[in-house]
Structure 1
Amino acid sequence: MSNSSITNESGTFEIGETTVHRLGFGSMRLCGDDIIGSPEDEETAREVVQRAVDCGIDLIDTADSYGPAVSERLIGEAIGDPDDVLVATKAGLLRNREGEWIAHGDPDYIRNQVLTSLDRLRTDTIDLYQFHRPDGDTDFEDSVAAFAELKDEGLVREVGLSNVSPELIDQAREQVDVATVQNRYNLNDRGAADSLEVCAENDIGFIPWAPINGDDLAAHGDLLDDIAEAHDATRRQVALAWLLERADVMLPIPGTSDPAHLESNVAATQLSLSDDEVQRLTDAAE
């Protein structure tokens, strides 16, 4: 597909009272190696964020653990707090120099982290604040209660969850309106299909992380290449187009630190798969 005219044509979805295009941008890759520290070229990283907005992306996903703190800071420096962009961030994971991701859902920690995220993102209110991962050492209900209280206090507009089962989604909805769920999901990895079904039934935005993972794409390379050739597209573009066809609540957030890759991802929203192609892709890993 040609990238001569790059606009986000992914349709829209309502996150709370905010309308966003369904294809967003995941900012994890703006950090250094192993998602630790700053990138080699911070100016390019900020340019990628601004280019995403220029292409019509108005849903940007980050987390306090990316860097840690680096991704949020770069987004704040690049675009500040524009009214027409929803910036979602997450809390609930600790990092160390070995690159480990350590669940930490203590309510006091979450309350502290929202203040640091507000500062780095240069805003007074987090548009969408997501619990990054349940913590086996902290009651899930207590962690969710902290997010609900932050919303009641006006520090957070909407609350989301990540890495959760259907049962935990239902538990959380007893305490707070859940606007989004972010679980791993892509063409080859359908492990979160039950959670996606719950989201579709309740009009909850489903944000698939690792939406175009390279290893998962390779598992269906021949099929993707066949469909891509018919559309003058790439494997990644076909995989993203399939995700957008999979469910109306699907909000893919492919991430990159490369402007050309960003534009290629946005161009995937202009790809129109046939019903037969969608079905062949759907059947591939089921």
Structure 2
Amino acid sequence: MEYIQIGSSGLSSSRIGLGTWAIGGIGWGGTDENKSIKTIQRAIDTGINLFDTAPIYGFGVAEEIVGKAVKQTGKRDNLLIATKAGMEWTEEGLAWTNASKRRIITELEDSLRRLQMDYIDIYQLHYPDRDTPIEEVADTFAQLHKEGKIRAIGVSNFTTEQIDQWRRIAPLHSSQTLLNVLQKEWIPSFQYCRENNLGSLTWGTLAQGLLTGKFNETSTFAEDDLRSVYPPFTGEYFTQHLTAVEQLKTMARELGKNVAQLSVRWVLDQPGVSVALWGARSEHQLDDIAGVLDWSLSIEDIERVNQIVKNAVPEPLVDSTPPPPTKKELQELGYLA
């Protein structure tokens, strides 16, 4: 495994981290706790020491599974647990942003309970909350950091301008944003992290499985699978993405790799990228990780990847997923009292 320092935090992370969004089950066709626990433990055996989760992943389910898996290994002190805050939800699954001081402190205690831990290694604001000033949220996170309840502070889905606002108030050690060979609009954010000694995590590294190469034009998704409506898997974009993946498969074979290994290596070789999150909820989905490590793409290889995608997808899909609503917005629409 390759390792790297997360900005100025003093924390050393594996360059592949395990993302647990799918382990939460909601939007991914459910979950299997025993299988997920074995997957997490297998990840630890491969050298992965960073596990990224969030309360909103299955409304607490993912955190609970991570906590059980880690407790069974007895290796908590050797691992980095990254979770998030700043979301609230109803029992019916209606969710909105809430980064008020009271909510953040409540979420931290809830996360610690679900994870069966007494501190969080990297605590991240999941999304900017348009109802709460960034300065107020940053001050809350700084307080938690000073108290030792969190070892490092992170943000997720923040623009560089929002990061600048945060850093004027409180320490910041990492930023997490979308990046894969098909969706590159956040590359400037990683360059910013490099210039400002911030660690970075990539989510969507395998494009929700699209870059594993296991899908074709006849692939379908169940209604409770988010990919049934997610733009990269629908309409003309799905066809174009499949074309790009087939051509990337050819290039990968020439390098003695498969398309997932090529795609993740491309991410790791982008300036400013610290950790690529690899989503998995079964042990076999970790088999390809070894082939990502201990090599790098040449400048020519990187350009070839970029050109393949550019030719197949003339007008790249910009992540059009709207940010979560605020409570005020849901109240104005009549969804909340």
TM-score (norm 2): 0.76
Tell me the CA shift for residue 100 of structure 1.
5.3
Report if aligned partners of 1:131, 1:144 keep a CA contact under 8 Å in 2. Answer: no
Aligned pairs for 1:236-247 (under 5 A) are 236-247=260-271
Q: Does 1:61 align with 2:58?
A: no
Q: Aligned to 2:173, what secondary structure does the other structure show?
A: strand
Aligned pairs for 1:171-186 (under 5 A) are 171-186=165-180
1:75 is aligned to: 66
Q: Does 1:31 align with 2:55?
A: no
Q: Does 1:255 align with 2:279?
A: yes
Instruction: State the superposition RMSD in angstroms.
Output: 2.2
Tell me which of 35, 39, 52 is aligned to 1:44: 35
1:281 is aligned to: 305
2:244 is aligned to: 220
Tell me which of 182, 189, 213 is aligned to 1:195: 189
1:13 is aligned to: 5
Q: 1:235 to 1:95 in 2, by over 3 A?
A: farther
Q: Does 1:94 align with 2:85?
A: no
User: 2:66 and 2:170 mapped to 1: Cα distance?
Assistant: 27
Q: 1:118 to 1:226 in 2, by over 3 A?
A: same
Q: Deviations over 1:65-102 (max 9, x none)?
A: 11111111111111136111101000112345665552
1:107 is aligned to: 101
Between the two proteins, the alignment pairs up a number of residues equal to 276
Aligned pairs for 1:106-125 (under 5 A) are 106-125=100-119
Report if aligned partners of 1:35, 1:66 keep a CA contact under 8 Å in 2. Answer: no
Q: Aligned to 2:124, what secondary structure does the other structure show?
A: strand
User: 1:102 and 1:244 mapped to 2: Cα distance?
Assistant: 32
Q: Does 1:151 align with 2:142?
A: no
Q: 1:229 to 1:98 in 2, by over 3 A?
A: farther
User: 2:145 and 2:62 mapped to 1: Cα distance?
Assistant: 23
Report if aligned partners of 2:13, 2:275 keep a CA contact under 8 Å in 1. Answer: no
Tell me the CA shift for residue 219 of structure 1.
5.9
Q: Deviations over 1:198-218 (max 9, x none)?
A: 101012111111011114853
Q: 1:129 to 1:219 in 2, by over 3 A?
A: farther
Name structure 2 gaps, 5 residues minimum.
211-231, 233-237, 311-315, 317-337
Tell me the CA shift for residue 281 of structure 1.
1.9
Q: Aligned to 2:83, what secondary structure does the other structure show?
A: strand
Q: Aligned to 2:109, what secondary structure does the other structure show?
A: helix
Tell me the CA shift for residue 232 of structure 1.
3.4
Q: 1:260 to 1:170 in 2, by over 3 A?
A: same
Q: Deviations over 1:186-232 (max 9, x none)?
A: 11211212211110101211111101111485362243112111133
Tell me the CA shift for residue 58 of structure 1.
0.7
Q: 1:251 to 1:101 in 2, by over 3 A?
A: farther
User: 1:47 and 1:152 mapped to 2: Cα distance?
Assistant: 35
Report if aligned partners of 1:188, 1:219 keep a CA contact under 8 Å in 2. Answer: no
Report if aligned partners of 1:118, 1:125 keep a CA contact under 8 Å in 2. Answer: yes
Percent identity between matched residues is 29
Report if aligned partners of 1:211, 1:240 keep a CA contact under 8 Å in 2. Answer: yes
Tell me which of 256, 263, 266 is aligned to 1:232: 256
Which stretch of the first structure deviates more once superposed, 207-216 or 53-62? 207-216
Report if aligned partners of 2:6, 2:198 keep a CA contact under 8 Å in 1. Answer: no
Q: Aligned to 1:127, what secondary structure does the other structure show?
A: strand
Q: Which amino acid letter does the alignment assign opposite residue 268 of structure 1?
A: V
Report if aligned partners of 2:38, 2:282 keep a CA contact under 8 Å in 1. Answer: no
Tell me the CA shift for residue 248 of structure 1.
4.8
